[in-house]
């Protein structure tokens, strides 16, 4: 496919002092009103810091023995929904998280701490924060965004 045939990349815009893309803010009211449960586990990462890796590990630790079939029958984005994402072609992350029947619910986010729904703090949920060497993270994110068309040009 030639560049002229590619869909346009969305622009970054200032959202309450943070550069964001609309896929993270289109469902904002539902994100902020999301009701966490006391046993929820929030996986909080910077993009390309190991989010999927940690999601798989926690899913295996919590459900690998009791429901091993879920590893091959349910995609990771449904087992561990991305709370703020609203990519129109998929069910919004808030809806996927609400539909989870597992306990604990594993939910991931790239939101800065000030944007995490208050209910996670009110319910005293556990948070798994993942950090990666900043240089490695930058290189990974750059190469990912070269092929990922849902974010601005890297």
Please give the positions annotated as active site. Answer: 110
Give all strands (DSSP E) within the chain, no chain letters.
Answer: 13-15, 18-20, 41-45, 106-109, 126-130
Query: If you ran DSSP here, which 8-state letter would residue 3 be given?
Result: G
Q: How many CA atoms lie within 13 A of 84 on its CB side?
A: 21
CA distances, 52 to each of 12, 17, 28, 91, 119 (Å): 24, 27, 23, 18, 23
Give one DSSP letter per residue of 94-126, joined into a string.
HHHHHH--SSSPEEEE---GGGS-HHHHHTT-E
CB 44 within 8 A of CB 129: yes
**Cβ distance 23 to 85 under 8 Å?**
yes
């Amino acid at each position: 496919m030639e560049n002229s045939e590619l869909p346009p990349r969305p622009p970054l815009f200032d959202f309450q002092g943070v550069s964001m893309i609309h896929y993270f803010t289109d469902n904002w009211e539902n994100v902020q009103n999301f009701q966490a449960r006391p046993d929820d586990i929030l996986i909080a990462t910077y993009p390309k810091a190991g989010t999927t890796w940690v999601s798989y590990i926690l899913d295996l630790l919590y459900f690998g023995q009791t429901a091993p079939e879920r590893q091959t029958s349910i995609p990771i984005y449904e087992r561990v929904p991305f709370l703020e994402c609203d990519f129109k072609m998929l069910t919004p992350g808030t809806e996927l998280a609400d539909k989870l029947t597992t306990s604990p619910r594993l939910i991931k986010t790239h939101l800065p701490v000030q944007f995490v729904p208050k209910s996670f703090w009110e319910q005293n949920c556990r948070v798994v924060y993942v950090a990666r060497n900043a240089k490695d993270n930058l290189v990974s994110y750059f190469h990912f965004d070269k092929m990922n068309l849902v974010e601005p040009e890297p």
